């Protein structure tokens, strides 16, 4: 575990017109099988950071995956967006997972279907293989999107507030589901959220970003899984993270 | 499916009412019979057309040319529109060409078609392509430009090449628009084709348009009406039969349109 799976060095991101700096100078290491939750007030650049890692934004500095520098999107870093419409509506749940396998050179159709079925089963949607996305609920769509990344053997799953648009009950279910999948498959996850409960329930590492695009806190999550508000130390950790986030947003209000 | 029956019933009642009204007007003898035939005369002319005058063969001939022109026009529109969204300079040029060409009525091109391609199938296909390619290109390009950025990012994320994006994302995502282009285009093409056949008035262009001209010169107004009915029936079969079925099996099934 000495070399990080993802190594970010001096990442710098300005708006496309070059006026405002979103991320001035980011250095970050993520190790294999880490689940890194990134918290931050809105507008702090956490989405921009994950989009830079995904290669969907241009940036200065370097992002390396397994020692290889990346600057454009690729299937080694599958992104799970917040928007439920990220599945192709003209493909069934199964096809949405099988098609990317075809794109990435899996020539045998039977093998593609078998792999897609295997991962649909892992996310608990085996019965929905022939459903079109418009027939699935929001939570189901997000699970298909996760299964797609897993089936592709993506090195890092990037999640940009994937559960933010779900209702509270489904959201809790999805968190448990994600933890269960994480137990099942050894995956590395970077998870953006503005929800403290979500960050500390899911992540083995938690990072807080400041509104000026810097890392305010980056710590190991001391809580033992499964995490609930009754877990020892939950209150203190929540307080600690919350005070950082609220001082951030107060600062922002004063500034504006 | 219950709610589908009421409009169908209303439509059938409307058609029956038109037929009855027609027959009442005929029996009132307001206009000469030679200008305003009875429903029975039109029906007889319809049967005669198919039995004695090869109307069926002419219809098939017209439909074959229509289909050929539609396929060529559709493929050309999709290929040129794909190129247009891939190469920016070509986009500017093609956009302008579409705007200019779309303004030219098909009939205005008939003299050119006759001089360049002669009176015959080639000219008819030329007319059909002209009718369909510009509206098709317009809706395809508009559709390409309206594709949600999310689909494009997802496509890039799973490693799709530019060519794969065109066939795997752009075309299926644009299918509803392409289809509305086909609907506008085919009706224009069908009208253009019949006009051209009527103007050619024979030669090697022996389709349904020729049948109309031929009946008119023989002062057989019932035959003209019979041909018009055939034109309408074909249109309805294509619209409600073929197009509906394709829509229901593709983007309506995908939840991309109601």
Contacts of A72 in chain B (CB under 8 A): 156
Of the pLDDT bands very low, low, confident and very high (cuts 50, 70, 90), residue A185 is confident
Please tell me the distance in Å from B173's CA to the nearest CA on chain A: 8
Of the pLDDT bands very low, low, confident and very high (cuts 50, 70, 90), residue A248 is low
Closest CA to B257 of B142, B201, B176, B198: B176
pLDDT single digits (tens) B61-120? 999 999 999 999 999 999 999 999 888 899 999 999 999 999 999 889 989 998 999 888
Contacts of A132 in chain B (CB under 8 A): 253-255
Please tell me the distance in Å from A15's CA to the nearest CA on chain B: 18
Of the pLDDT bands very low, low, confident and very high (cuts 50, 70, 90), residue A250 is low
Residue B246 has pLDDT above 60, yes or no: yes
Alpha carbon distance B126, B22 (integer Å): 38
Question: What is the average pLDDT score of chain A?
Answer: 92
Question: What is the average pLDDT score of chain B?
Answer: 91
pLDDT attached to residue B3? 55
Of the pLDDT bands very low, low, confident and very high (cuts 50, 70, 90), residue A143 is very high
Residue B4 has pLDDT above 90, yes or no: no
pLDDT attached to residue A255? 44
Residue A5: CB atoms within 10 Å: 18
Contacts of B157 in chain A (CB under 8 A): 54, 56, 73-75, 77-79
Stated pTM of the model: 0.86
Architecture of domain B42-249: Orthogonal Bundle (1.10)
How do the domains of chain A map onto residue ranges? 81-154
Please say whether the beta carbons of A188 and A154 come within 8 A.
no
Please say whether the beta carbons of A143 and A131 come within 8 A.
no
Residue B213 has pLDDT above 70, yes or no: yes
Please say whether the beta carbons of A33 and A39 come within 8 A.
no
Alpha carbon distance B258, B248 (integer Å): 10
Please say whether the beta carbons of B190 and B177 come within 8 A.
no
Please say whether the beta carbons of A12 and A23 come within 8 A.
yes
Alpha carbon distance B72, A8 (integer Å): 52
Tokens 């008035």 belong to: B201
Select the residue of B148, B159, B250 nearest A74 (Cβ to Cβ): B159
User: Which of A82, A90, A142 best tests the B interface by mutation, with the highest count of B CBs <10 A?
Assistant: A90
pLDDT attached to residue A148? 96
The rounded percent of chain B whose pLDDT value lies above 90 is 73
pLDDT single digits (tens) B20-62? 999 999 999 999 988 999 999 999 999 999 999 999 999 999 9
pLDDT attached to residue A155? 92
Of the pLDDT bands very low, low, confident and very high (cuts 50, 70, 90), residue A186 is confident
Give me Rg for the CA atoms of chain A. Answer: 18
pLDDT single digits (tens) A72-101? 999 999 999 999 999 999 999 999 999 999
Residues A40-55 have a mean pLDDT of 93
Binary contact (A103, B168; C-beta < 8 A): yes
Select the residue of A77, A132, A148 nearest B255 (Cβ to Cβ): A132
Select the residue of A54, A104, A134 nearest B159 (Cβ to Cβ): A104
Question: Quick one: DSSP state of residue B127?
Answer: H
Select the residue of A78, A81, A104 nearest B150 (Cβ to Cβ): A81
Contacts of A56 in chain B (CB under 8 A): 153, 156-157
pLDDT attached to residue B258? 75
How do the domains of chain B map onto residue ranges? 1-30, 42-249
Of the pLDDT bands very low, low, confident and very high (cuts 50, 70, 90), residue A15 is confident
Residues B176-180 have a mean pLDDT of 90
Distance of CA A202 to the CA centre of its chain: 11
Residue in chain B lying closest to A88 (CA): B151
Q: What is the DSSP string of chain A?
A: --S-SEEEEEEEEE-TTSSSEEEEEEEEEE-TT-EEEEE--TTSSHHHHHHHHHTSS--EEEEEETTEE--S--TTEEEE-SSGGGS-TTS-HHHHHHHHHHHTT---HHHHHHHHHHHHHHTT-GGGTT--GGGS-HHHHHHHHHHHHHHTT-SEEEEESTTTTS-HHHHHHHHHHHHHHHHHS--EEEEEES-HHHHHHH-SEEEEE-TTSSEEEEEE--SPSSP-TTSTTHHHHHHHHHHHHHHHHHHHHHH-
Binary contact (A103, B158; C-beta < 8 A): yes
Closest CA to B233 of B61, B68, B59, B39: B59
Please tell me the distance in Å from A173's CA to the nearest CA on chain B: 25
Alpha carbon distance A1, A4 (integer Å): 7
Binary contact (B157, A132; C-beta < 8 A): no
Binary contact (A74, B157; C-beta < 8 A): yes
Of the pLDDT bands very low, low, confident and very high (cuts 50, 70, 90), residue B184 is confident
The rounded percent of chain A whose pLDDT value lies above 70 is 96
Tokens 């994320």 belong to: B157
Give strand pairing partners of A14.
A21
Residue B6 has pLDDT above 90, yes or no: no
pLDDT single digits (tens) B111-166? 999 899 988 889 999 999 999 999 999 999 999 999 999 999 999 999 999 889 99
User: Which of B151, B158, B254 best tests the A interface by mutation, with the highest count of A CBs <10 A?
Assistant: B158
Contacts of B154 in chain A (CB under 8 A): 79, 81, 86, 88
Contacts of A148 in chain B (CB under 8 A): 158
């Amino acid at each position: 575990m000495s070399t990080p799976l993802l190594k970010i060095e001096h990442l710098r991101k300005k708006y496309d017109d070059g006026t405002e700096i979103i991320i001035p100078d980011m250095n970050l290491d993520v190790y294999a099988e880490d689940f890194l939750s990134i918290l931050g007030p809105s507008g702090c650049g956490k989405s921009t950071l994950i989009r830079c890692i995904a290669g969907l934004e241009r940036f200065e500095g370097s992002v390396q995956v397994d020692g290889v520098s990346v600057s454009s999107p690729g299937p080694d870093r599958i992104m799970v967006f917040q928007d439920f419409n990220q599945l192709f509506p003209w493909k069934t749940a199964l096809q949405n997972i099988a098609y990317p396998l075809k794109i990435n050179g899996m020539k045998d159709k039977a093998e593609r279907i078998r792999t897609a079925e295997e991962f649909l089963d892992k996310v608990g949607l085996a019965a929905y293989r022939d459903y079109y996305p418009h027939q699935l609920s929001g939570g189901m769509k997000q699970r298909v999107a996760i299964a797609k990344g897993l089936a592709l053997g993506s090195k890092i799953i990037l999640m940009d507030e994937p559960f933010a648009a779900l209702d509270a009950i489904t959201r809790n279910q999805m968190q448990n589901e994600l933890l269960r999948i994480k137990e099942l498959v050894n995956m590395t996850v970077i998870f953006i959220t503005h929800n403290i409960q979500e960050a500390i329930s899911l992540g083995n590492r938690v990072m807080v970003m400041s509104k000026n695009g810097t890392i305010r806190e980056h710590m190991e999550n001391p809580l033992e899984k499964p995490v609930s508000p009754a877990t020892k130390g939950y209150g203190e950790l929540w307080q600690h993270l919350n005070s950082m986030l609220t001082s951030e947003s107060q600062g922002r209000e004063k500034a504006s | 499916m219950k709610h589908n029956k009421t409009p169908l019933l209303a439509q059938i009642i409307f058609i029956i009412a038109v037929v009855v009204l027609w027959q009442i007007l005929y029996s009132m003898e307001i206009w000469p019979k030679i200008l305003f035939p009875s429903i029975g005369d039109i029906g007889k002319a319809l049967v005669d057309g198919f039995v004695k005058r090869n109307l069926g063969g002419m219809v098939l001939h017209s439909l074959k040319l229509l289909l050929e022109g539609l396929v060529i026009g559709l493929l050309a529109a999709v290929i040129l529109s794909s190129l247009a969204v891939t190469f920016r300079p070509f986009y500017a040029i093609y956009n302008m060409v579409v705007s200019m060409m779309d303004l030219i009525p098909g009939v205005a091109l008939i003299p050119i078609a006759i001089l360049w391609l002669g009176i015959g199938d080639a000219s008819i296909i030329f007319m059909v392509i002209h009718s369909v390619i510009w509206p098709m290109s317009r809706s395809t390009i508009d559709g390409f430009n309206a594709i949600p950025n999310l689909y494009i990012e997802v496509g890039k994320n799973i490693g799709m090449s530019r060519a794969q994006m065109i066939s795997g994302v752009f075309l299926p995502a644009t299918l509803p628009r392409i289809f509305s282009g086909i609907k506008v285009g085919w009706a224009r093409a069908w009208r253009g084709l019949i006009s051209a056949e009527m103007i050619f008035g024979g030669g090697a262009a022996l389709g349904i348009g020729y049948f109309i001209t031929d009946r008119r010169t023989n002062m057989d107004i019932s035959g003209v009406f019979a041909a018009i009915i055939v034109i309408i029936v074909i249109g309805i079969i294509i619209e409600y039969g073929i197009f509906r079925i394709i829509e229901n099996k593709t983007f309506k099934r995908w939840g991309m349109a109601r």
